[in-house]
Structure 1
Amino acid sequence: MSTRASAPPLARLVTEVLAPWVLVLSLPLVVAWHATGNVPDALLWGAVVGLTGSVIPMVVIVHGARRGRWNGHHVTNREGRLVPLLACLASLGLGIAALTLGGAPRAMVALALAMFLSLVVCLAVTFGVPVNGERGWKVSFHAAVAAGAVTVLFISFGPWALLGVPLVALVAWSRVALGDHTTPQVVVGALLGAVLAGSSFWLLA
């Protein structure tokens, strides 16, 4: 029996409910509400980042998974992650342009840029870091996005956001329990997400 098949149901639930696409879709709405203070503008700018950072890339991922180009909608095989990551970068780049040209709040542009920069570094690690004689290491995007989201919320809302730290640990546990990542991969992912997304958002916002 495979690790994924024998994993606790909670691990599968956490992996789906707190998946990167879910967090990248919801986080911009929260940040936009904090930045604008009104619902219409929050929905507008949150939707721009959510659409280009989450929905469009997820459409590409699901389409490719159904055609067998990579393993499932979580793209569990490292080598299959190149096209989805490039698609996400391209889509998010369009989102950043739309935010800039549309006069979006500084925090929204900062959030999109923080996501973009984090993606670039995670892409470099995934395909460029030499490990065990091979080039590339499957760093956990689940852990990176979860940790990055909590850090951005901490910068925006203060210490109360740290209540989300146990959720980051839960996400990391779920990825290891499912056999999709090793412990070092989720730890490094969480550190990259927190440091890269947090520092770039703080500096740019």
Structure 2
Amino acid sequence: MKKRPVEKIVRVLTLAPIMALLALSILFGIQPELFGGTGNYGAAVFFLTVLPLLAYPLQRVLPGWKDKGRDGQRRLAIWMAVIGYVAGILYALAAAVPERLMLIYLAYLFSGCLILLFNKGIKIKASGHACGVAGPLALLVYLLGSAALLGLPILALVYWASLRMGRHTWPELLLGSVLPLIALLSSIAILIPF
């Protein structure tokens, strides 16, 4: 396979935790009241960005993971993300965070669980990368309005890079993009009754 440095750069810059950091920072800059304080913003960054990103350095040193290569890295990243999302929900409940911040935590938890269910449970590969971009984009559209659709080219770049590198197929990318929408709609239905 040819080396594809541009595609690799796109995939690294659009890792799910990095996109979470970008979305959280945009929201904090535009609607800081959504977080109810700087501490809650910092906690969200820790649970949705720092803990999931730890998968990459940990995979190189953890026994049982370090010899698993790319597949092991991918699996550990999913597990670390779900751990971060569960810990985030526990923090959100304990800290009684504002409703819209709880919505973010819940949407991330549901997205992570759906990715885990499809990839590990029913063995249908869904792109965690597409999920990690489509989810924050959907949250931004819901919380900030249609102007956030300006982020769609980022999702298109992820599709392009993933296809060019042979990391995912169209169905895997599409499924990975649909799962966070299901997660967001489920979170809205739970937190904001009709």
- TM-score, normalisation: structure 2: 0.84
Aligned to 2:8: 12
2:60 aligned counterpart, secondary structure: helix
Structure 1 residues without counterparts, runs of 5 or longer: 130-135
- Asked whether 1:202 is paired with 2:188, we answer yes
1:37 deviates by 3.5
State the alpha-carbon separation in 2 of the partners of residues 14 and 60 from structure 1.
19
The superposition leaves residues 68-113 of structure 1 with CA deviations (integer Å, 9 ceiling, x where unpaired) of: 2443xxxx42x66444433322232222121222121111111011
Q: Are the aligned partners of 1:56 and 1:91 in contact in 2 as well (CA < 8 Å)?
A: yes
- TM-score, normalisation: structure 1: 0.80
State the alpha-carbon separation in 1 of the partners of residues 121 and 35 from structure 2.
42
Q: Are the aligned partners of 1:152 and 1:201 in contact in 2 as well (CA < 8 Å)?
A: no
State the alpha-carbon separation in 2 of the partners of residues 34 and 97 from structure 1.
26
Aligned to 1:153: 140
Letter in 1 for 2:188: W
- Asked whether 1:30 is paired with 2:26, we answer yes
State the alpha-carbon separation in 2 of the partners of residues 100 and 118 from structure 1.
18
Aligned to 1:54: 49
1:29 deviates by 3.1
Q: Say if 1:160 and 1:38 are closer, same or farther in 2 by CA, change over 3 A.
A: closer
Structure 2 residues without counterparts, runs of 5 or longer: none
The superposition leaves residues 46-69 of structure 1 with CA deviations (integer Å, 9 ceiling, x where unpaired) of: 221221122122213321135524
State the alpha-carbon separation in 2 of the partners of residues 157 and 102 from structure 1.
24
Aligned to 2:176: 189
State the alpha-carbon separation in 2 of the partners of residues 121 and 172 from structure 1.
20
State the alpha-carbon separation in 1 of the partners of residues 76 and 182 from structure 2.
22
Greater mean deviation of Cα atoms: 182-191 or 82-91: 82-91
Q: Are the aligned partners of 1:69 and 1:80 in contact in 2 as well (CA < 8 Å)?
A: no
1:34 deviates by 4.8
State the alpha-carbon separation in 2 of the partners of residues 10 and 81 from structure 1.
20
Q: Are the aligned partners of 1:31 and 1:46 in contact in 2 as well (CA < 8 Å)?
A: no
1:181 aligned counterpart, secondary structure: coil
Letter in 2 for 1:59: L
Greater mean deviation of Cα atoms: 44-53 or 154-163: 44-53
Letter in 1 for 2:93: T
**What is the alpha-carbon root mean square deviation over aligned residues?**
2.4
Q: Are the aligned partners of 2:47 and 2:88 in contact in 1 as well (CA < 8 Å)?
A: yes
Q: For 1:102-113, what aligned pairs fall within 5 Å after superposition?
A: 102-113=95-106
Equivalent of residue 126 in structure 2, options 126, 129, 139 = 139
The superposition leaves residues 168-200 of structure 1 with CA deviations (integer Å, 9 ceiling, x where unpaired) of: 11111111111111121111111222x224313
